Structure 1
């Protein structure tokens, strides 16, 4: 009896060791993936800053100079502010190029097509049975032509500041009615 319980305890300990080894391997793998992702993001930022075409020595020298200045809190604050402004400008430029669109396709679409449409900025409307969203017209038009669909603009393309002004003016010009259409009274 004592041998059986000893053998059982040894088997349980082996299982626990194996489980701990699997968990440690998973932690190491997750850390490796996080580091790889961080390196890829850093490389993307180097390319985005226009430094990707520099030769390795020049780029490394520039990065060493930046590294030597990172102990200066004022310099780091300036870098953060400039980076934030650059990201904001890029986001505004991307948003300004997009407009509300409706894409109608016949039949159900395969996963690759739906992933592409979502990447363009569309989402599926279950109620209206079409794709809608904010997207760049030329990219959406190319996809619609390729997929045999029809693309509609929801509003004429306008400058973002003009759209905000006209939206505010339209809101202030609306009567506080009970929901009746203004066109019906005319």
Structure 2
């Protein structure tokens, strides 16, 4: 009986330890999520041009938004306005970009691959080339800089014309 009791106590301690570990993981995930949201909010404050305000002015501006945050119509209006702004910025950023393939005769060094990744390219292990959306002239000069060549990707409809 004593042995069974000791085993049960050990099992109980293991369960407590397991629960404590799970609780710790949950709290860590919550902290990471909160930190990410705070960083996103800070980036939006910077993107909106309000970061230059002093702390009191910025806080006052945010407090003035608090009343509208409870009004569904106002939140919908803000959502629409923000979505349009994001779309406009994305269109401007991607204007003139097209699908481009970069090929190189041999393996690239780490510095070259870092440059290509920062330019928005990714390496396809299956096709053995770099691919991405870019302005063709910029991609061609980047490829030439590292001893490769750039090629436009044409769709089936483009090829038929």
| TM-score between the two structures when normalised by the length of structure 1 | 0.71
Q: How many residues align?
A: 159
Deviation at 1:114, TM superposition (A): 4.5
1:150 to 140, 148, 151: 148
RMSD of aligned alpha carbons: 2.9
Bigger Rg, which one:
1
2:49 maps to 1:47: no
2:65 alignment counterpart: 66
1:35 and 2:27 correspond: no
> Which ranges of structure 2 fall in alignment gaps of 5 or more residues?
none
Q: Distance in 1 between matches of 2:49 and 2:84?
A: 16
Q: Alpha-carbon deviations, 1:43-80, whole Å to 9, x = none?
A: 11111111111111111110000112222222222111
- TM-score, normalised on structure 2? 0.80
User: Can you give the 5+ residue segments of structure 1 that lack an aligned partner in the other structure?
Assistant: 156-166, 175-186
Contact 1:101 1:151 in 2 (8 A): no
Q: Considering Cα pairs closer than 8 Å and 6+ residues apart, tell me whether 1 or 2 has the greater RCO.
A: 2
Secondary structure of the residue aligned to 2:107 is: coil
